[in-house]
Structure 1
Amino acid sequence: MLRKEFRIILISLLVSFLLTVAKFTAYFLTHSVAILSDALESIINVVAGAFACYSIYLTGKPRDANHPYGHGKVEFFSIGAEGAMIFIAGCLILFKAVQYFIGTYQLEDVTRGIWLIGATTLVNLLLGQYLVREGRKLPSITITGNGQHIMTDVYSSLGLVVALIVIHYTGWTWLDPVVSVAMGILILRKGYQLLRRSISGLMDETDMQVIDQVINILNQHRRPTWIDVHNMRVQQYGNNYHIDCHITLPYYLELSQAHDELKAVEKLVNQGFANSEVEFFIHADPCLPVCCHYCQLMECPVRKEKFSGKITWTRENVLPNRKHG
């Protein structure tokens, strides 16, 4: 899997470099500040691709004494660095656009600029869709994030092509810096989103989609001996997850029986996360009389209360650190 990730990101890096050369060629032909904005963003694609290569290399390294959870967290540094560079590029684009508003300049050879930017947009569209699709299959937040960034580049380039066509037929050169400002704002927004994603990952912010996926798996394969699940916490390390939780089991189970129940939970969730490895740290809680009314173990020899109804596991009762009763 690591070799495939590395191959995918190398393709992205090479294509992004060639497209950057093409966009700067278009800028030198036309002297369009909007095309310059597009070219500056493409430089970020190249640098981000290089970061992603190093990130995937580190992620593939085995765990060691200093990194007991592996090196997967580096992916969040990678998308954070990419987000920061995109944000800086957006600021530079806005600064350059303001300069063009104040000064005077002449656009040249707009037709060739349209064809060049149009061709790079088509190639970027194919590359972005490929990266997003493959990143979700693996899954890899580095590859997916890179693909989403390139798709943003595609949308801004499409707007640029339309603007260049309008300028070519109307002569409205003032539209060039206006489009550049719009692109700069779009790029700033994307940079903020990547920075937000990076910070949330580094701060171990709860991913509710992962929580919901785990809960759904446990609900579908629930055993009567699993009386409740609570105090669930999820941390992501690259493609892998570390999950802590408490499971309430009948207090009279032998140690080997309790161990088998916990291993069954781990096996089920790993099967549900086919492209990732899920490591569980499960704390087994003994049941209490208060648990009897929702315990589904009908042949329990020590039941104190009648069964009153099943409690479906949800975020509301799985995340807090308390038994459901």
Structure 2
Amino acid sequence: MSTPSVSDAAGDALVLALTDVIKGASGPEIQQAQAMLLRRLATQGDVIPSRIPAPRNITEVGGYLNLLTELGETTMCKGMLGAALGLAASVPADDGAGGTVPPLRLVQIANDRLPSPAGDGVPLSVGVRQDLAAGLQAAVADVRAAAGHLPLWGPPAALPAPTGGTGPTPDPLPYLGREVWVAPTAALTDPETDPIVLGRASTDPGAGYRVGVRVADGTAEAESADWVGLKWDAVGGAFLEAGIGTVTMLALEKAIAATPFVSRPLTAVPPSRGDYAWARMVAVAGLLPGASRLGDELALVWTGDQIVQSAYADHLDAVWDGAAFV
């Protein structure tokens, strides 16, 4: 039995080190390299063994070159010569595998799922734009450390398909990684036990409603006060107010104050159980009214192929007006 040489061991160690660097690094350049390596594994190399024997001498190499030249396979001829010399083939970044890697990406952050039937509708993770994710993840963790829950909801991690003119174009903010929701199943069922309450405290000015997160006494920025929470009446088909006594609540806007996301209070009762405006958390930093184009924002996180096959293909020139792309 042969013993691996020192040079073989050193080479193996170098390959493992390079693999760890590629796996652990981040950034658009590394993503581009990762995509290229995966493409080459799928289409080149020894993933599919060669159907012809390796050339044994220069004469056989010349024979292959002559054959490919006669067949007009110039590209294959160059690739064969490079392979014989041990050189990596030149593969363009946009070789039909989805286009160039966007400068940013949607990252999945771990969700805070509820230990009750209300958690059934809460996804395991939600997608947020790469540069907006860390703060939101920290906010979820902080609420959890305060014995509370801040479960989130987001759309599927794919752009919506064209509507064919049969319906409105979906709001693009969630697909830009700029909007997530408080999971609707965490509220509006029973304000006395729901981890999330849509209501108001006795100390609140006015008659509107805001989102409160139930947390432990003594939590920083939280307040203990008498609360009224909204509860959906399935029989009457409307929301009712229910007093829940003195509770310690952390206002949602305070829970996410250190993140790029903001939440807006409601001035009136939601018109229906399916109206989730109260649950929206949006991050619009960097969107300049009258200047920011939808196509440019999509290109930050999606490839060109994905965009042109989506519901937004005909709306790329829509411009941000301060509230929406129009």
When the two structures are superposed, what TM-score results if normalisation uses the length of structure 1? 0.29
The higher radius of gyration belongs to 2
Higher helix share: 1
Higher RCO, Cα 8 Å, sep 6+: 1
When the two structures are superposed, what TM-score results if normalisation uses the length of structure 2? 0.29
Higher strand share: 2
